[in-house]
């Protein structure tokens, strides 16, 4: 072991998981005391709360007035699947992926929907594909922020305003932390349990007028399960986008989302949320800049996420190990921090390169992020000493 002293200061909030993410500062169960428990979501009280959640989502994210916002089942995954199965097939589709979840959407379209005219644009972890090669006369599916790679698109400039196809964007770890250019996006999805730290199980589906037009004028060749159906008789089921959910939502989770939205509004809305995430990410980036054993997985600074920050161990001795040993070294550091009660759930995603994934979203206090950095140094020194002892 090393004789390096443990840092004196510990983070007040040790929850740095990238999903479900940390609750807002000051959160307690008391915040949910007004939940409509035991009441029908179709009763006035339930419908009002669901409609309020939609209205606050529109207000804070600056969603255009003519875009529909719906609360749907099965988290972000459910929202994305509803869009893929309901909208694709009218024309060719370009699938853009650079991490696990984007690759999952590729698999669904190619192997489950079995669309013959589907092109893949993929990049390894840490990089973006060549976005200039994407054809927006076709439909395009992509993630805005790669939750498992820490790589995001810097903006929507690569999407033409006069596109003929639809853009379907999985924005689950970007919404409420980054600017989403809705004029360039026809479908936007996310879940409550990311940037706002809401309880899981529910997704948000946002549709542009162009997406609604597709839904009302195109019928897929395959059958659609009830929870995917958004039209009846060739017309959009408008109730879905007014709080009349397809299936029964958890009113406790709805209350938690409302609490998070009201907290965001009290801070100053989207600008304040972005500033908090940026400040947290900067703490990590500054630490990486001055520390010789760690690096950003995202290679280009402009593409680095301000929410799910992914890091790799660059120390030459660790880099000389085989992949399994590198993964074991990183896991050992994560275990040390967990046992110390300093940071929970910061290991890299299971399909990603070994290293760390630290949530920097708005519900994290910058002071807690600052307190975490010396502990990373301590865990590395401790693990490195163990490695040297094993090799002796």
Q: What is the pLDDT of residue 3?
A: 67
pLDDT at 1: 43
Q: What is the DSSP secondary structure assignment for residue 42, as one 8-state letter? A: T
The pLDDT assigned to 314 comes to 98
pLDDT at 115 over 80: yes
Average pLDDT of span 256-260: 98
Q: Give the span between the Cα atoms of 169 and 179, in whole angstroms.
A: 13
The pLDDT tens digits of the residues spanning 291-310 come to 999 999 999 999 999 999 99
Contacts of 310 (CB under 8 A, 6+ apart): 125, 148, 149, 150, 151, 296, 297, 298, 348, 352, 355, 356, 357
Domains of the chain, residue spans? 29-266, 269-387
Classified as helix, coil or strand, 10 is coil
CATH, range 29-266: 3.40.640.10
pLDDT in tens, 155-197: 999 999 999 999 999 999 999 999 999 999 999 999 999 999 9
Q: Which residue has the tokens 């009763």?
A: 43
Give 344: exposed, middle or buried? Use CB within 10 Å, 0-12, 13-18, 19+.
Answer: middle
Banded pLDDT at 15 (limits 50, 70, 90) = very high
Alpha-carbon radius of gyration of the chain: 22
Q: Which long-range contacts (CB under 8 A, 24 or more apart) does 155-161 make?
A: 155/179, 155/181, 156/180, 156/181, 156/183, 156/184, 156/185, 158/131, 158/132, 158/134, 159/184, 159/185, 160/136
Q: Is the pLDDT of residue 257 over 90?
A: yes
Residue 392 has what pLDDT? Answer: 78
CATH of 269-387, one of 3.30.70.1450, 1.20.1070.10, 3.40.50.1100, 3.90.1150.10: 3.90.1150.10
Res. 2 pLDDT band, cuts 50 70 90: very low
On whether the pTM is more than 0.95, the answer is: yes
Residue 3: exposed, middle, or buried by beta-carbon count in 10 A (0-12, 13-18, 19+)? exposed
């Amino acid at each position: 072991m090393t004789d390096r002293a443990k840092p004196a200061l510990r983070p007040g909030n040790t929850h740095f998981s990238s999903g479900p993410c940390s609750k807002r500062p000051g959160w307690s169960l008391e915040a949910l005391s007004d939940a409509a428990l035991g009441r029908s979501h179709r009763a006035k009280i339930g419908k009002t709360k669901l409609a309020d959640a939609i209205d606050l989502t529109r207000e804070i994210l600056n969603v255009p007035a003519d875009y529909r916002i719906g609360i749907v089942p099965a988290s972000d995954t459910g929202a994305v699947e509803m869009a893929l199965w309901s909208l694709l097939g009218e024309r060719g589709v370009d699938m853009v992926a650079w991490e696990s979840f984007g690759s999952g959407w590729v698999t669904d379209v190619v192997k489950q929907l079995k669309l013959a005219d589907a092109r893949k644009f993929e990049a390894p972890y840490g990089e973006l594909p060549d976005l200039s090669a994407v054809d927006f006369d076709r439909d395009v599916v992509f993630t805005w922020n790669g939750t498992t790679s820490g790589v995001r698109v810097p903006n929507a400039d690569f999407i033409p305003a006069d596109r003929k196809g639809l853009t379907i964007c999985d924005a689950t770890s970007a919404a409420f932390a980054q600017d989403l250019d809705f004029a360039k996006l026809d479908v936007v999805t996310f879940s409550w349990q990311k940037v706002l730290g809401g309880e899981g199980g529910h997704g948000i589906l946002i549709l542009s007028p162009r997406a609604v037009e597709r839904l009302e004028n195109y019928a897929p060749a395959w059958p659609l399960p009830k929870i995917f159906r958004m039209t009846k008789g060739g017309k959009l089921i408008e109730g879905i986008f007014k709080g009349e959910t397809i299936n029964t939502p958890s009113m406790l989770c709805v209350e938690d989302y409302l609490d998070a939205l009201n907290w965001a509004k009290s801070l100053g809305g989207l600008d304040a949320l972005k500033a908090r995430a940026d400040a947290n990410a900067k703490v990590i980036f500054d630490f990486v800049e001055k520390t010789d054993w760690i690096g950003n997985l995202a290679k280009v600074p402009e593409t680095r996420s301000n929410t799910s920050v992914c890091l790799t161990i660059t120390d030459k001795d660790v880099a000389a190990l085989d992949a399994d040993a590198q993964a074991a070294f990183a896991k050992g550091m994560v275990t040390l921090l967990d046992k110390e009660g300093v940071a929970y759930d910061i290991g890299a995603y299971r399909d990603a390169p070994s290293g760390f994934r630290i949530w920097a979203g708005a519900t994290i206090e910058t002071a807690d992020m600052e307190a975490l950095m010396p502990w990373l140094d301590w865990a590395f020194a401790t693990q490195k000493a163990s490695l040297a002892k094993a090799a002796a």
